[in-house]
């Protein structure tokens, strides 16, 4: 880390269809790079963010659909610094799915991982199915950062990654 670029590995978790790939694509859109590794079924993308005089490189791992089979490879979690567990604010069952993803993260992920809950599809807030207070309470109960995002409108997306960096690198 010292003197060079700080790198943060972020893994995306959450039920299929909540918008994980869309969030990553939105975040990296102007600096887009994909490598698919058939052996672990995840796609990887890199993106730099500037913080005053420091550059943080986010190495972001998306499930590439493997979450449907509940078979994320252990390597997916290895050395991860942060997890974004996403739900779709219009789909109650995707919120209930957060508990399973969090348990799985506790089982397979690094102990000191920074956990964030992203309530995605904020642009559809008129049909929100989970009271925000309930989502915040859940996030608090697991010590996670809670943010609403919209991959469609870009609401909160970069801020989510900035929050992750700030938690991991308090000296930013």
Residues near ligand GDP (CB under 6 A) are: 14, 16-22, 120-121, 123-124, 150-152
Query: From the CB of 135, what's the least distance to ligand GDP, in Å?
Result: 15
Are 127 and 90 a contacting pair, CB within 8 Å?
Answer: yes
Helix (H, G, I), strand (E, B) or coil at 139: helix
Closest distance of CB 72 from ligand GDP, Å = 13
**Per residue in 131-165, is it b (16+ CB within 10 Å) or e — as a string?**
eeeebeebbeebebbbbbbbbeeebbbeebbebbb
Name which of 9 and 26 has its Cβ closer to ligand GDP: 26
Residue 111: which residues within 8 A CB-CB, separation 6 or more?
Answer: none
Minimum separation from the CB atom of position 124 to ligand GDP (A): 5
Q: Would you say 16 or 59 has its CB closer to ligand GDP?
A: 16
Closer CB to ligand GDP, residue 59 or residue 66? 66
């Amino acid at each position: 880390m010292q003197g060079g670029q700080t790198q943060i590995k972020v893994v995306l978790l959450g039920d299929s269809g909540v918008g994980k790939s869309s969030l990553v694509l939105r975040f990296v859109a102007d600096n887009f790079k994909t490598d698919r590794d058939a052996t672990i079924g995840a796609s990887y993308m890199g993106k730099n963010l500037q913080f005053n005089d420091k550059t943080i490189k986010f190495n972001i791992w998306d499930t590439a659909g493997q979450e449907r089979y509940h078979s994320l490879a252990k390597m997916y979690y290895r050395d991860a610094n942060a997890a974004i567990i996403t739900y779709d604010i219009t789909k109650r069952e995707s919120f209930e799915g957060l508990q399973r993803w969090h348990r799985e993260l506790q089982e397979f992920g690094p102990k000191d991982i920074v956990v964030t809950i992203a309530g995605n599809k904020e642009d559809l807030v008129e049909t929100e199915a989970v009271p925000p207070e309930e989502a915040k309470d859940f996030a608090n109960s697991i010590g996670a950062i809670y943010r609403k995002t919209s991959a469609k409108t870009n609401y909160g997306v970069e801020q989510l990654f900035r929050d992750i960096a700030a938690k991991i690198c308090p000296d930013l």
